[in-house]
Chains A and B, each alone.
Chain A
Amino acid sequence: MNAPTSPRRSGSSGPPTDSLTDTSVRAGSPAGSAPGMTHDDTAMTPTTAEPWVRLTRYVLRCMLGITAGTVAVLAVAWAVAVVLASTAGVELLAQITHYATVSTVPWVAFTALVICVGVQVRHYVHAGFTRRAVTAAGLLGSLVVGVVFAVAATALDRVGLGLVAASLGVELSMTLAPWWALLGAMLMVCLTGAVCGVLVGASFVRWGGWATLLLPLTVGLPYFAQDVLARSVTLRGEGPGGPPSWLEQVQAALPTVPTAALSLLALGLTVAGAWLILRRLPLPPRANP
């Protein structure tokens, strides 16, 4: 009987298979290498930036697009607000600006981090990044987004509002908080919004739809803490832009310093939560459709 022959050795495979034939002859031992190839030729990592640095750059580039889109939308909203203010009074503009800075901008930061980090964990690990690198990129991305958005929101609130009021030739009847207080509050609220984005995205990857039940913890409480702080800083004063009555009661019960301490604690817990979920996040295979 003819010895059964491997189809591979029969030369039916088409492309250059000499090296494969060679390796099959040495069955049971590691394959022969192409000339000059060593383990290091393929396994050695070329000199390049650390994975978390590369991923952070990638994440920031991703968020740049979202931020640019957001700025465009805000610019249109601002133009509409100015037109309204010219007819209805600058206090209306102040209220709109407060709403945009305190309530809207942090949610944009939240959304950017959900989109660019939270729900992308699987894809980043799939592309060869560790969960540590994803966490680092998420937190650094949050920091950058938090600072940029806070500065932008403060500039919008103070500089923009002042310019519009001056151009309209009116004076604001309400008392505004100093810019540094607003910047500090916006920094906290934007940072927390961004980190909440990482936390919420990762929790949905971890627990699927059940993570909805965790939203009061993953986003509700931290966000509430920051919101109270931001409003207590930005809406102190009198006039139509002043704080609602419920917030006045909260402000009376919680002065600014304890509120700031609580908001710091909330931010710290959010960061810790994101790290705890991400560090050993299992990504079991999805079924091939």
Chain B
Amino acid sequence: MTGLSVTTRDVSVRYGAARALDGVTLDLAPGRIHGLLGRNGAGKTTLLSLLASFQRPDSGDVALDGRDPFEDARLMQDTSLMRATGDLAADLKIRDILRLHRTGRAHFDRDLADHLLDRFDIPRRRSLARLSRGQQSVVAATIGLASRAPLTMLDEVHLGMDAPTRQEFTEALLADFAEHPRTIIVSSHLIHEIEHVLETVTILHRGRVVLSEEADDLRTQGTTVTGRADRVEVMTRDLRVVGRRDLGPTREATVLGRPHPAWVTEAERQGLQLGAAPLQDLFIHLTSDRDAA
């Protein structure tokens, strides 16, 4: 077993009149990559900040490996929450920020940090505030990976990065996880870019857990139907379509549920291709339905 397990029981947090988390109960197994998805203001960052001991819940219990992490020296050292900006000292030079995190993290890998920062030409003598938005995100993501914390949380850490940089960091995340398995929680709005790395998916909406299950199981809750637009339209006429994409004459529709075998046979006879549903379509559907409710 690697990494830290995460358990929350009936956790609630309020900011004034606003309820950020409302009775969140969650179990995340150690040594896996978990996705935490939710729309803006869903409570993702608040939940992660509880795990990182930035604050305590108003009610309910939070446990890492069965223990309350708040002011637990070992658990706090072994838990890293990295966001694009906001938590790193903006007026410090990059080398000083690295030094602070090397001081605080027992497993910090200086070589990995140097490698990633060199790869993206991040100047060490410049303060964080003087870097571009994307470069600041690179610094945050680098520290998050290099910390090698048994519970590593990356919260929208891709903000501001260009597409190639995002892809390289996702690859670096996978490679480092393969060599140093630990519990990783990734929160991002760029669902289509990270869904292939996620092993479980938890969706928060309005401070509540909408679902928490295996990513593969979630994908089987929907099916993509791809082919000529008119044929796709006819075949999905009586199904619940939650997403559509057109590319010239080709259309890809995401439908909910498992189609009847006879329907599958007919769709294949029509030359349509069936596949796994993109998480993003399911995510939009699940959170939109809750809105309507």
Contact = CB atoms under 8 A, between A and B. Distances in A.
Interface residues of A, number: 64
Interface in A1-60: 1-8, 12-20, 23-24, 27-31, 33-34, 37-39, 41-43, 45-46, 48, 50-51, 54-55, 57-58
17 contacts: A4-B223, A4-B274, A6-B196, A19-B178, A20-B177, A45-B78, A51-B77, A57-B103, A124-B100, A126-B88, A131-B71, A132-B73, A284-B15, A284-B49, A285-B54, A288-B85, A288-B159
Interface in B12-40: 15, 29-33
Q: Give the top 10 A-B pairs by smallest Cβ distance, nearest first.
A: A4-B276, A1-B264, A127-B104, A128-B104, A286-B86, A31-B31, A282-B55, A27-B214, A15-B171, A8-B196
Nearest to A119: B89
Chain B residues touching A, majority SS: mixed
Interface of A: 1-8, 12-20, 23-24, 27-31, 33-34, 37-39, 41-43, 45-46, 48, 50-51, 54-55, 57-58, 120, 122-133, 279-280, 282-289
A1 B223 contact: yes
Nearest to B80: A128
A60 to B, nearest CB: 12
A282 B174 contact: no
Contacts of B215: 6, 24
Contact of A283 (B54, B106, B182): B54
B106 A48 contact: yes
Contacts of B150: 39, 42-43
Contacts, number: 215
B276 A30 contact: no
Interface stretch (B1-9, B203-211, B237-245): B1-9
B115 interface: no
Contact of A13 (B86, B174, B219, B222): B174
Contacts of A285: 45-46, 48-49, 54, 83, 86-87
Interface of B: 1-4, 15, 29-33, 45-46, 48-49, 52-56, 65, 71-74, 76-81, 83-89, 92, 99-101, 103-107, 147-150, 156, 159, 167, 170-172, 174-175, 177-182, 195-197, 199-200, 214-217, 219-220, 222-224, 259, 261, 264, 267-268, 274-277
B1 A1 contact: no
A39 B30 contact: yes
B242 to A, nearest CB: 14
A126 to B, nearest CB: 5
Nearest to B214: A27
B174 A31 contact: no
A5 B276 contact: yes
Contacts of A38: 1-2
B239 to A, nearest CB: 13
Contacts of A55: 103-104
Chain A residues touching B, majority SS: loop
Given A30-B32, A282-B54, A18 B216 contact: no
Contact of B275 (A4, A15, A24, A280): A4
Given A42-B182, A124-B104, 7 more contacts: A4-B276, A31-B32, A39-B1, A127-B100, A128-B77, A130-B72, A288-B85
